[in-house]
């Protein structure tokens, strides 16, 4: 039983490190590019899919703990590390951030105006929005929007 718990904790640790670098690349190359005011921790927590995190933690933990061929384990973990670290490259981090976070061609309404454009980031209290008509980035408060 203790080896199973060790496998799970190892998987959580490895997955956390891989996720850290993925979200760091998104923060540096997408969020900071558009000067969106959001802290890393909020970005990480709000956009983390708990089911994918748990599933990858279990798979990686069992893989690392129960596969006897350490060369294969090292190769697979190196591959995942390279993929996760690749988000630190500006083009890769921006591309993943825009595919993961940006929502194109959205229509938002408040009492006075209809906004048509791209949602760059949907935060807890506000939305960073690129308005096609104004041709600039605006911040919309969620409490003011009509659903």
pLDDT of 13-72, one tens digit each?
Answer: 999 999 999 999 999 999 999 999 999 999 999 999 999 999 999 999 999 999 999 999
Same domain, 45 and 86: yes
- Please check whether residue 96 is in contact with residue 22, taking contact to mean a CB–CB distance below 8 angstroms: yes
Token look-up 């900071």 returns 32
pLDDT recorded at residue 147: 75
Give the per-residue pLDDT at 12.
Answer: 97
Same domain? For 82 and 38 the reply is yes
Residues written for the chain: 147
Parent domain of 141: 103-146
Question: What is the pLDDT, as a whole number, of residue 1?
Answer: 72
108 and 65 in a common domain: no
d(CA 131, CA 106): 10
The residue from 68, 85, 100 where one domain ends is 100
The verdict on 65 and 132 lying in the same domain is no
Q: How many domains does the chain have?
A: 2
pLDDT digits (tens, 9 = 90+) for 76-109: 999 999 999 999 999 999 999 999 999 999 999 9
Specify the pTM: 0.90
Contact 88, 21 (CB under 8 A): yes
Please tell me whether residues 64 and 18 are part of one structural domain. yes
Which structure tokens are listed for 108? 């938002």
d(CA 25, CA 90): 8
């Amino acid at each position: 039983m203790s080896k199973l718990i060790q496998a799970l904790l190892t998987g959580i640790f490895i997955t956390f490190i891989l996720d850290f670098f993925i979200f760091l690349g998104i923060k540096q190359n997408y969020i900071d590019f558009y000067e969106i005011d959001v802290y890393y921790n909020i970005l990480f927590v709000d956009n983390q899919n708990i089911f994918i995190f748990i599933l990858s933690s279990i798979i990686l933990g069992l893989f690392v703990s129960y596969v006897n061929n350490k060369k294969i384990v090292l190769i697979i973990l190196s591959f995942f590390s390279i993929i996760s670290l690749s988000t630190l490259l500006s083009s890769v981090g921006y591309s993943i951030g825009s595919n993961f976070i940006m929502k194109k061609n959205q229509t938002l309404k408040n009492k006075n105006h209809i906004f048509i454009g791209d949602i760059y980031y949907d935060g807890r209290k506000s939305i960073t929005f690129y308005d096609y008509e104004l041709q600039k980035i605006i911040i919309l408060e969620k409490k003011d929007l009509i659903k």
